[in-house]
Amino acid sequence: MPEESKASENNSRKVYIRTYGCQMNEYDSETMAGLLGNNGYHLTDNPAEAGIILLNTCYVREKVKHRIYSRLGELKKLKEEKPELILGLSGCLVQKEPEEVLRRAPYLDFILGTSNFYHLPEVLEEISGNHNRENQPEGKHARVVRVEENRAIPEGMPKLRKRRFSAFVSVMRGCDNFCSYCNVPYVRGREVSRPCKDILREVEELALKGYKEITLLGQNVNSYGKGEKEKTDFADLLVLVNQVEGLRRIKFTTSHPKDLSDKLIEKMAELDKVCEHLHLPVQSGSNNILSRMKRGYTREHYQNLVHKLRRAIPGIALSTDIIVGFPGEEEKDFQDTLELVETVGFDGAFTFCYSPLKETEAAWLKERIPEKISGQRLRRLIELQQKILLRKNESLVGKEVEIMVEEISKKSPDKLQGRTRTNKMVVFKGRKELIGNIISVKIAASGCWALRGEVNSC
């Protein structure tokens, strides 16, 4: 075989995957990568040398959708230069608007919905067959479309994990909450919990491979097990995962304030491997807005949870998600949010301007907030949160903390970075061999984004 055709043969099995959005999407991408690896494909970080490009998409806000369509526009040019390139889209955007995706990007070779991603290897074989087949009708583009909903996703699929010591493990898929602004129940379907034995098997395999930390994933992990035959709730699941030998740290996300039980708080306090951090999205500090958002709790309920958590787990770090500019949010509602943020003293906050999404209930609400006002509120909120964070991080200077060393620092390549049990990033000078170890460091300086640590024995 001539050298050039060997090279193109090799490239035809090189896959570039770009993941947008949340950890659940990353987890699905790791599964697709694992399936591809088992079927003779290889991953590449360089889209220019790939024979297959897949964008695993998100659709949590309009901005993300625009970014994806604009990336698709760039890839169209690449496909015009390399007609043999296979281009596909998977994930939430595809599930939400498959026809629109195909209308705007008719050059796509395949699209896969959120419960069809595991068909990727067979879809690629089918497309290669189509490409190789002669007599393709002139101008006809044969593409594969798999977007039907499927509650039963197979267990035991291989995974190619991005990280070597810390892994995601999904405990459930979908969501039943239908918060009035949110797309997730429409794009990820209704809530289904994975059987406890399958979750445990996955965690045990990871621990045997040397993974020290796992993050249990779900849109609302607190409702794990609801409606299933098996009577294991999330607190019971934590007890079982805590028994897995070799594992040192357990994290989980996301918790919904309406379903956070006393039993779960008690277990978090009791179980040695469960880290002292909780991501508990509040979304707003105004009862009026929380009710319009259909969140199912009040600010008083949320504050009571914070109180219980801090009493049971001293030093626990709390982080949150907040939306500003939700329809009907008046200045006094926003003040309630600022006040809640100040009184709780969050260790982190993901803050967003409300983005109206077609078909969600809130998109019908009339009292839209002008973008300019939402933008100003967002800046005021971020400013306040940064002040709080600086204050909190400064109080750690001089203290010894446990970190898991994750990798070479992204911002300072001569240093390493790791995370405390409270999810704070610590950057420090140390030997590369420390990566993957759990060590103690002294905090020498603080900042908003990260803390600077010093390690004695390196």
Per partner kind, with CB cut-offs from 5 to 8 A, the member of ligand SF4, ligand SAM, none near residue 354 is: ligand SAM
Q: Least CB distance from residue 23 to ligand SF4, whole Å?
A: 13
- Which residue lies nearer to ligand SAM by CB, 69 or 178? 178
Per partner kind, with CB cut-offs from 5 to 8 A, the member of ligand SF4, ligand SAM, none near residue 178 is: ligand SF4
Q: Give the up-direction half-sphere exposure of residue 80: CA atoms within 13 A in the CB hemisphere.
A: 8
- Which residue lies nearer to ligand SAM by CB, 283 or 420? 283
- Which residue lies nearer to ligand SAM by CB, 196 or 323? 323
Interface mask toward ligand SF4 for 254-273; x: CB under 6 A: --x-----------------
- Which residue lies nearer to ligand SAM by CB, 181 or 252? 181
Footprint of ligand SAM on 233-262 (CB under 6 A): 254, 256
**DSSP codes, 373-432:** HHHHHHHHHHHHHHHHHHHHHHTTTT-EEEEEEEEE-SS-TTSEEEEETT--EEEE---G
Among 220, 222, 355, 409, binds ligand SF4 (CB under 6 A): 220
Measured CA distances, 309 to 154, 270, 300, 386 (Å): 36, 12, 14, 23
Site for ligand SF4 contains 280 (CB under 6 A): no
Interacting stretch for ligand SAM, rule CB under 6 A, among 107-115, 270-278, 351-359, 382-390?
351-359
Site for ligand SF4 contains 238 (CB under 6 A): no
Site for ligand SAM contains 61 (CB under 6 A): yes
Footprint of ligand SF4 on 159-188 (CB under 6 A): 175, 177-179, 182, 184-185
Alpha carbons 59 and 47: distance in angstroms, whole number: 22
Residue 231: helix, strand or coil by DSSP?
coil
Site for ligand SF4 contains 219 (CB under 6 A): yes
Sign of CA dihedral 336, 318, 278, 62: positive
Q: Which two tokens stand for residue 222?
A: 């607190």
Among 207, 274, 309, 323, binds ligand SAM (CB under 6 A): 323
Which among 109, 32, 19 has a CA at the least distance from the CA of 64? Answer: 19
Q: Least CB distance from residue 450 to ligand SAM, whole Å?
A: 23
Residue 300: helix, strand or coil by DSSP?
helix
SS (H, E, C) 76-126: HHHHHHCCCCEEEEEEHHHHHCHHHHHHHCCCCCEEECCCCHHHHHHHHHH
Alpha carbons 287 and 329: distance in angstroms, whole number: 11
Q: How many residues bind ligand SF4 (CB under 6 A)?
A: 10
| Order of strands, sheet of 277-279, starting from the edge strand that comes earlier in the sequence | 277-279, 317-324, 348-353
- Which residue lies nearer to ligand SF4 by CB, 119 or 299? 299
For 345: left if phi > 0, alpha if psi spans -120 to 50, otherwise beta; the answer is left
Q: Which two tokens stand for residue 365?
A: 């609400």
The phi, psi pair for 123, rounded to 5°, reads -65, -40
Q: Least CB distance from residue 452 to ligand SAM, whole Å?
A: 30
Hey, how many other C-beta atoms are within 10 angstroms of the C-beta on 5?
9
Among 11, 115, 180, 220, binds ligand SAM (CB under 6 A): 220
Among 100, 176, 321, 407, binds ligand SAM (CB under 6 A): 321
Among 90, 116, 180, 219, binds ligand SAM (CB under 6 A): 219
The phi, psi pair for 385, rounded to 5°, reads -65, -35
- Which residue lies nearer to ligand SAM by CB, 180 or 409? 180
For 174: left if phi > 0, alpha if psi spans -120 to 50, otherwise beta; the answer is left
Alpha carbons 375 and 380: distance in angstroms, whole number: 9
Among 60, 172, 313, 434, binds ligand SAM (CB under 6 A): 60
Per partner kind, with CB cut-offs from 5 to 8 A, the member of ligand SAM, ligand SF4, none near residue 59 is: none
- Which residue lies nearer to ligand SAM by CB, 41 or 326? 326
Binding site for ligand SF4 (CB under 6 A): 175, 177-179, 182, 184-185, 219-220, 256
Binding site for ligand SAM (CB under 6 A): 22, 60-61, 181-182, 184, 219-220, 254, 256, 281, 283, 321, 323, 352, 354-355, 357
